[in-house]
Amino acid sequence: MMLFDRSNRSADHLYLKARTLWTKVVSLSIYDSEDMLHSVAALLQKARRQNARHVPSLVLLSDVFMVSGAEKKAMEVVNLLITLEPQNQTHARKKVLLERLQAKRSDDNRDAVRDFVEVRWTQTNDW
């Protein structure tokens, strides 16, 4: 029996680095900075390769995809999150927002996605 899971520890470390960058993106409202979003996504993808079921990384990765306009990728991650945590209402809410955006690409639907992500990251303590 292993006392610790090396892949999870590595994923945790990568997630924390990505979260630090993401905090800057949110606090500065620089969602259009492709370099910053790419850096965050790259760290999270690496964490995902270390542990494909690392929920914190998947949650943040779905948020990054949502605000960067990669709705299809975001939906794939959200569907995985729903499989891993079927009772989590945040995942369900993300899916509804993404479905609306995919059905009708409008400024209102894009703003709803961005507002959801921003509120989640500026007004919650669960990250």
Residue 126: count of CB within 10 angstroms of its CB: 7
Q: Is residue 127 part of a domain?
A: no
- The answer to whether position 84 is within a domain reads yes
CA–CA separation, 85 and 18 (whole Å): 22
Give the number of domains in the chain. Answer: 1
User: 19 lies in which domain range?
Assistant: 6-122
Q: Is residue 58 part of a domain?
A: yes
Q: Is the pTM above the cut of 0.85?
A: no
Q: What's the CATH number where 59 sits?
A: 1.25.40
Which letter, b or e, does each residue of 35-66 get, where b requires 16 or more Cβ atoms within 10 Å of its Cβ? ebbebbbebbebbbebbeebbbbbbbbbbbbb
Q: What is the pLDDT along the chain (127 residues), one digit of tens a residue?
A: 333 455 566 899 999 999 888 888 877 766 667 788 899 999 999 999 999 999 999 999 999 999 888 999 999 999 999 999 999 999 999 999 999 999 998 999 999 998 998 888 877 655 5
